Structure formats: structure tokens, C-alpha cells
Amino acid sequence: MTVVEKIAEYIVGESEQRQPAQVIYHAKRAFIDWFAAMYSGSIQDPNPLLRQAFIDEDDTRQAVIFPYGQRSSVKVAAFLNGASAHTSEFDDIFRDGGLHPGCATIAAALALGQRQNQSGSQVISAVIAGYEVSSRISAAMGRGHYQFWHTTGTIATFGAAASGAILLNLNRQQTANALATSATLAAGLQQAFRSNGMSKPLHSAHAAETGVMSAMAASKGVTGALDVLEGSAGMGAAMSDSADWDKATEGLGEIYNIKTITFKNHGCCGHTFAAIDGLLAIMSANQIKPVEIARIDISTYGPAISITDRENPKTSQECKFSMQYVVAHAAHYGSVRVSAFEDTRMSDPKIRAMLKNINLTIDPEIDAQFPTRRAANVCVTTKSGQIIKHYQHTRKGDPDLPLSDGELNEKFTELTAPVLGENKTKELLKNLWRLDEINLSDCLVHATKSDRK
């Protein structure tokens, strides 16, 4: 069998069984985190612009578009909700593959789940399969893939296709064809977030839409090249120099990667998190105030430097991908949340003055551990001459230092309530924690605002 056929066999088998309670629990955490990221992103550009571009009032009313409750086709809903979920930089991560699995997978599953009138339990099963498939393919593509390609754009499409295959009740051959078709449509260049622009969220949007479209096409008999991953001109050859396809199927159905997902504690590029956490640890332990800091030296892994070394960011997009900016913001405000990218914060003279005093280098030992460990050495030199060093071995939110349920609930409320309102936020959170017990439609009854913009 080809790789996609082996994966398809797992997906069909996954749809026929009840997952362990712990796996369902972690899936519900993923839904809660997705909605938090989606709501905070839904009111930020480019999402209001995308809704203007793509919502057709005469379109088929099959699925809800958040946050205002317009309805559209499954493809459009998956696209728009997928974009919203990836905009505020709060969406989840599969660390070992450098993938944001939820933004596209859950967007696709919610859209199709509504059209198919599925239960919450069925949608959860679909999302679990999507996480398991996409996380393994991201790990299989290796570090070489991440040199030019944005993994969420290229690999999250498999998660969306896998979830779609379950919700459309595809057989093994149809599922393999859905995966194969999604592979040839995969795209997403890193330059989209190495420069200023609004197109990075479109990677998640495209992945969600492509997965849905591929599954729907396969349900009607459209076939794909089943050796599209390992073939001589396939994804592995074209997009990586180190693809290991054994990793794509290793542990499927036995080891659940959804239990090891990172939930972000900061609203910016994840490559900056270890440095932020390390600086905050130094400042807390030594009672250092930002005005006392003369210099901050950070040594970490290569991609963190190549992607986020930006001493003079000007836009919110650039600031989210500036190690110097987010570290300086954390030094002055103790966190990096949505407010960090408001105009007044981005122009704060105290933050701006610190940027030139933050120095970044690659640490060979830390670099060798990427992507399975995201660490940083942080050294603070005070104006009095004191030198304090800290090794931050992981990031808050990673599986070895996870957000508690209480912290996840707080994140959900913080990011959702300003958009949805306090009462609806409470009711939706309650429904998401019992999603496996209710219908999807009942879960979403409190999920939209009434005042459209």
C-alpha cells in the first residue's frame, strides 16, 4: 500500500471506534483553544475584509461563519473560519512537526459537521483523526520542509481532509483519494510571514477549504495520485530533503498526538516563547524592573533567529514576528497578549528604546534539538553590572509544561468575551466541555454575535 492508503485505513478504523476518555478530553481542550484563537482573530484584519470578499448573501446556507453568524457554503465557511483561527497567533501547535493543526482541521470539521447534522461526538472523532494524520505527516516531512514552506499551509490540509472523510463517511479508497487530492493542492510560503502582509492566515484558510473540497470530491468518485507523498515527483521529493514516510504511520491508532499539543500562552510567533518565558523567569526571581535592564542576550535555535530577528518592526504583523519586540513588551508589561499589538503599545517609547539592546544568536546545542524541543538561553545584564543567566528548557503551554484547564478557561474567556460577550462566552465554554454529549448545533447555539459588522 502507498502511504496515503495506509493512512486511509487508519482513518476509517478510527471512525468506527470510541476513542479513550483521555483522548476525547484533550480533543475538547483543542476545541476550546480553537474558539479562543478564532474569536480574537475574527475581528482583526484580514478577516473583516475576507468576509466582505467571500460572503454571498445568495449562497447556500450550510454553515455558520464566526463571529457574527452569517451562513454560507461549507467551503466558504471552512475558509473564513480557518483564516480567523490563525490570525491572532494564539492557535495551537504540534511542536514536533512545527504545525498548527487545529486552525484548519477544526474549521473544516465544524463546517461539514453542520451540513451533515452531526453530533458533537462525531465531530470530535473527525478532529482527532485530523490531528493524528496531519501531525504525523508534518513530522515525516522533517526540518528540511520548514526551510521555505509554512507547514500549516502545506500539511494542515491533510487534517482537514481526514476530518472531512469521517464526516462524509468515506470508505478507505475514497479517503485515500481525498488525502491524495489535498496533497497536490497544498501550499504556503514562509515569505508570507517573513515580510509584512495579511496573507499568512490564508494558509490556514486554504488548508481548511482544500481539505473539505478534496473530501467532497472524493465522495463523488474523484481520484488522486495515491503515491503523491512518496513518489519521485511527490510531496517528499518536492518539498523536503529529509522526508521519512515511516513517521507518517508510526503509532497510528495507538499513540495519540492530540494529547501532546501546545496551547499558546502568548499571542505571537511560537519561536519567541522560550525567550519570553526565560526573561520573565529572570525578572520574577530577581525582582528586576525593566528600567534596570541594560542588555538582554538570547541564544536559541536557528529558525527562531531567521524568522524573528527584527529589530525595527513597524506593523502588527512584523511585531508578532519580532523577537526583540515581544521580549521587550514582556519585560514592560509581563505578558504578550492581544493588547501588545495595539498602536499605542507598538509605539511605546519604553519598548522601542529596549529593542536595540536585545541581541540574538544561535546556540548549536539548542539548534540541534529543534523541532522536538524549543529552548533558549537568556542572559540579562543590569545597569548596575549584574549578569543573570537562565536556561529556559521549554515553553509554557508545551506538553511538558502545559496550560492547566483553569488557565485554558481563562485564555478562552480573555480572548472570547470581548467579541462574544460575557454571558454567551460562559455558555459556549460550558457546551464545549460537554461537546461529546450533545449535538453540534446545540453546542453552537451561543457561538455568534447578533450585531454584524
Model confidence pLDDT, tens digit, residues 140-197: 999 999 999 999 999 999 999 999 999 999 999 999 999 999 999 999 999 999 999 9
pLDDT confidence band for 79 (50 / 70 / 90): very high
Query: Over 60: is that where the pLDDT of 453 sits?
Result: no
Which pLDDT does position 246 carry in this prediction? Answer: 98
- Is 6 in a helix, a strand, or coil? helix
H-run or E-run covering 350: helix 349-355
Which pLDDT does position 2 carry in this prediction? Answer: 98
Which pLDDT does position 17 carry in this prediction? Answer: 85
Residue 100, Cβ density class (10 Å: 0-12 exposed, 13-18 middle, ≥19 buried): buried
CA torsion, points 221, 222, 225, 227, in degrees to nearest 10?
A: -50
Structure confidence by residue, pLDDT tens digits, 30-66: 999 999 999 999 999 999 999 999 998 777 789 999 9
Q: What span, in angstroms and rounded, lies between the C-alpha atoms of 17 and 10?
A: 11
Pull the grid cell for residue 100.
Answer: 498548527
Q: What span, in angstroms and rounded, lies between the C-alpha atoms of 189 and 307?
A: 13
- Find cell 524568522 and name the residue: 307
Q: What span, in angstroms and rounded, lies between the C-alpha atoms of 321 and 83?
A: 18
Range 103-108 average pLDDT: 98
User: Residue 233: phi, psi to the nearest 5?
Assistant: -120, 30
Q: How much helix, strand and coil, in percent to the nearest 5, is found in the chain?
A: 60, 10, 30
Query: Over 60: is that where the pLDDT of 267 sits?
Result: yes
Tell me if 241 sits within 8 A of 127, measured CB to CB.
no
- DSSP string covering 9-41: HHHHHHHTSPPPHHHHHHHHHHHHHHHHHHHHH
Pull the grid cell for residue 85.
Answer: 483561527
Pull the grid cell for residue 190.
Answer: 514562509
Using alpha carbons, select from 442, 434, 453, 439 the residue that is nearest to residue 28.
Answer: 434
Per the prediction, the chain carries an average pLDDT of: 97
Which pLDDT does position 60 carry in this prediction? Answer: 74
pLDDT confidence band for 16 (50 / 70 / 90): confident
The sign one gets for the Cα dihedral 239, 242, 243, 248 is negative
CB neighbour burial string for 335-352, b if at least 16 within 10 angstroms, e if fewer:
ebbbebbeeebbebeebe
- What percent of the chain has pLDDT above 70? 99
pLDDT confidence band for 222 (50 / 70 / 90): very high
Residue-range domain boundaries for the chain: 3-264+413-446, 270-392
Tell me if 339 sits within 8 A of 327, measured CB to CB.
no
Residue 438, Cβ density class (10 Å: 0-12 exposed, 13-18 middle, ≥19 buried): middle
H-run or E-run covering 158: helix 151-167
Pairing between β-strand 63-65 and β-strand 387-392 as defined by DSSP bridges: unpaired
Which pLDDT does position 141 carry in this prediction? Answer: 98
Which pLDDT does position 61 carry in this prediction? Answer: 82
pLDDT confidence band for 95 (50 / 70 / 90): very high
Q: What span, in angstroms and rounded, lies between the C-alpha atoms of 11 and 233?
A: 25
Which pLDDT does position 402 carry in this prediction? Answer: 98
Query: Over 80: is that where the pLDDT of 273 sits?
Result: yes
Q: What span, in angstroms and rounded, lies between the C-alpha atoms of 453 and 449?
A: 10
Cβ partners under 8 Å of residue 21, min gap 6: none
Query: Over 70: is that where the pLDDT of 452 sits?
Result: no
H-run or E-run covering 388: strand 387-392
Structure confidence by residue, pLDDT tens digits, 335-373: 999 999 999 999 999 999 999 999 999 999 999 999 999
- What percent of the chain has pLDDT above 90? 97
Superfamily of domain 3-264+413-446: 2-methylcitrate dehydratase PrpD (1.10.4100.10)
Tell me if 449 sits within 8 A of 418, measured CB to CB.
no
Say which CATH topology domain 270-392 has. Answer: 60s Ribosomal Protein L30; Chain: A; (3.30.1330)
Cβ partners under 8 Å of residue 403, min gap 6: 263, 265, 396, 397, 411
- Find cell 521580549 and name the residue: 327
Identify each DSSP E strand in 227-304 by its residue range. 293-300
